[in-house]
Structure 1
Amino acid sequence: MPAHVASVNIGSREPSTAKGVGFTGIRKRSVDSAKLRAPGPKHGGLGSGLVDDFIGDIRSHGGDYQAVYAFAREELDYWERRLGTELANGSFGENLTTSDLDVDAALVGDRWAVGDEVLLEVTGPRIPCATFAARMGVRGWLRIFTEVGRSGAYLSIVSGGEVRPGDPVRVVSRAAHDVDVPTTFKAFMGDLDAADHVISVGCLPEWELAHLRDMVTRRRRPRA
């Protein structure tokens, strides 16, 4: 079957004890449709790229480069088998649960056409956080998720519009490099070889490249 949206998911404001922000929207519910629009900067913008999707920690999440989070249904199926529990669409906090699309094979900068209106661009991996760990309730979850390294992808919104379950997803352009989502994930999680490669390609925003350069410098600095 062609790649398509299996579920569109948004979160509501609810209490959170995982961080000091007090509230979270990580528990997503499926909806019949959602309007996507660029939310603006992470600090001072609208948060999520989906109208009515709540983000509690707006210092760490949301904004144009994390407007939409996509995760493959096939990956949820893998985790169902591994964890021995049922995982509904949206269980990992994703906005778009996809089917028949290898989200983690995406290159940073790939563009996806979704339905008739929406154009998205892959911006990088999802980095697991304390809220995600609390949501899953699995001991050692951050380590386990990191070891697998298939994080799903964040996307920016190039052109907004309505998205519905069943909408086709088409990869309409591929980036002119080889940096995929898992490589970028490894870089952010401390793999220095991956970080070197991502930095050399320069496919991320300058502030993220600066973060990686600083990490590499600190990790390779000789100890006194």
Structure 2
Amino acid sequence: MAVVLSLNIAQRTVPVDYAREGATGIDKRPVDGPLEVRAPGAKSSGVSSSGVIGSGVVGDAIADKANHGGDYQAVYAYAREDLDWWQAELGADLRNGQFGENLTTRGIDQTHARIGERWRVGTALLEVTAPRIPCRTFAGFLGRQGWVKRFTEVARPGAYLRVLEAGLVAAGDEIAVVHRPEHDVTVELFFRAVLTEADLLPRLLEAGDSVPPEVVDLVHRRTAV
């Protein structure tokens, strides 16, 4: 059975010199739940009509709202299995939430999840929309030289999710895959298409409106599709 091991949030942003906005909310820590998850609105709007700022997890702080949060990046999930792999690779302990994920999971393969796949988590319905793209804030937080390159090479990016039905989520909740699209556009394929294999970009359109609009625009710009 796939489960949520921990629900993680940043209760405030922290000033740092390695982040674009001069602050970051990447340092997420496990909290006692449940917490509400809901659609936060368009990424660039800052505050949506529902009054939620940035993150889809109520109470979670985000500093760079132009590049993080919003409907298509409302919730970030990362697998404990992948954290354990990195733990062995780096020779360092990695706690739940260490990669800035809201949901640390066990028992679900995020790398090969399909874009548009839907998960029932607690009372919320979430949809897989995109991989995490590594940035300098991620590298700076971990304090690892060459981290962006290494994370890209390994291609275990975790999955961003949008909220189709608001609800409550807590550690221990089962993750049930309730819909899997017929296409084969996976999180890994999406990741490689954007970062290392541009010839794959047109295939992202097979996933329809589950793909973030800015990525659809990117595909059109790069391929004239």
Normalising by the residue count of structure 1, what TM-score does the alignment of the two structures yield?
Answer: 0.92
Q: CA offset at residue 201 of structure 1?
A: 5.4
- Written as runs of structure 1 = structure 2, the 5 A alignment for 1:6-155 is 6-11=5-10, 12-33=12-33, 34-44=35-45, 45=47, 46-115=53-122, 117-155=123-161
Identity in percent = 47
- The whole-number CA distance in structure 1 between the counterparts of 2:216 and 2:145 is 32
Q: CA offset at residue 184 of structure 1?
A: 0.3
The answer as to whether partners of 1:38 and 1:160 remain within 8 angstroms in 2 is: yes
In the alignment, does 2:178 pair up with 1:172? Answer: yes
Unpaired segments of 5 or more residues in structure 2?
48-52
List structure 1 runs of 4+ shifted beyond 4 angstroms. 200-203
Query: 1:3 matched to which residue of 2?
Result: 2
Normalising by the residue count of structure 2, what TM-score does the alignment of the two structures yield?
Answer: 0.91
| Structure of higher CA gyration radius | 1
- The whole-number CA distance in structure 1 between the counterparts of 2:167 and 2:111 is 24
- The whole-number CA distance in structure 2 between the counterparts of 1:200 and 1:113 is 23
The answer as to whether partners of 1:187 and 1:212 remain within 8 angstroms in 2 is: no
Code of the residue aligned with 1:193 in structure 2: it is D
Unpaired segments of 5 or more residues in structure 1?
218-224
Question: What do you get for the CA RMSD once the two structures are aligned?
Answer: 1.4
- Which one of the candidate residues 203, 206, 214 is aligned to 2:221? 214
- How many residues matched? 215
| Per-residue Cα deviation, 1:51-107 (whole angstroms, up to 9, x for no partner) | 111111001110000000000000000000000000000000000000111111210
SS of structure 2 residue aligned to 1:105: coil
Q: CA offset at residue 208 of structure 1?
A: 1.4
- The whole-number CA distance in structure 2 between the counterparts of 1:51 and 1:65 is 16
Q: CA offset at residue 197 of structure 1?
A: 2.1
The answer as to whether partners of 2:18 and 2:140 remain within 8 angstroms in 1 is: yes
- The whole-number CA distance in structure 2 between the counterparts of 1:206 and 1:94 is 22
Q: Which moved more, 1:10-19 or 1:162-171?
A: 10-19
The answer as to whether partners of 1:21 and 1:56 remain within 8 angstroms in 2 is: yes
